[in-house]
Structure 1
């Protein structure tokens, strides 16, 4: 099974997740949103699997800095467009298996352990 990890390298939670993955001996590819952007098809698939509400990080600085019009009347299409434009508002990290069937958002070691057994 190939594992893909998505996030921003200087994010503390991403750092913890990567350290955990290394300690567990899991090989993975890392996708840096800052350098590589966020793919619309992937965001759509993740929204199908987890819900766009889970993916959208409303607590972060980037989201809070958006103007009220951008935050108003949020729905799936608007959230995905904002995540493409501002990848920093995607909750991170996102872990995905190569088949695309398994997607975890955020880092909870017990959930990751259950998936990667």
Structure 2
């Protein structure tokens, strides 16, 4: 299991604490492997972009209109977090649905 996020993100820290066996991958330092990103974009598309982030608010309207793949390649911190890869399946965010799917209460 791999958890993609930011080490400064509170939600990622909560998820990592609940998933102690997960390998943490810092998207700012290490990025997301292209195969994982391609699968995540195919599954979540625009939902993968965190439109509530500080980075998003700093983008111009023209930049915001670019495809999700381009935005995330240029600004990895724009990715909604955490992105969790477990048993070939991808989960986005740390909500009750994700926790239930991963068997975490």
TM-score, length basis structure 1: 0.78
Cα RMSD between the aligned structures?
A: 1.8
Alignment of 1:63-78 (within 5 A): 63-72=56-65, 74=66, 78=67
Q: Provide the C-alpha distance between the structure 2 equivalents of 1:31 and 1:59, rounded to a whole number of angstroms.
A: 22
Q: Which runs of 5+ in 2 are unaligned?
A: none
Q: Is the Cα–Cα contact under 8 Å of residues 57 and 91 in structure 1 kept in the other structure?
A: yes
CA distance in 1, matches of 2:103, 2:70: 30
Contact kept in structure 1, 2:28 and 2:76, CA below 8 Å = yes
The answer to which structure, 1 or 2, has the higher relative contact order (CA under 8 A, 6+ apart) is 1
How far the C-alpha of 1:109 sits from its partner, in A, is: 4.3
Residue 110 of structure 1: how far off its partner (Å): 4.5
In the alignment, the residues of structure 1 paired with residue 97 and residue 35 of structure 2 have an alpha-carbon distance, to the nearest angstrom, of 28
Structure 1, gaps ≥5 residues long = none
CA deviation string 1:72-109 (max 9, x = no partner)? 3x4xxx211110110110000011125x3x11100024
Task: Give the match for residue 4 of structure 2.
Answer: 6
* Shift, 1:116, TM fit: 4.3
2:101 is aligned with 1:114: yes
Pairing of 1:5-84 with structure 2 (within 5 A): 5-22=3-20, 27-49=21-43, 51-72=44-65, 74=66, 78-84=67-73
Residue range with higher mean Cα deviation, 78-87 or 107-116: 107-116
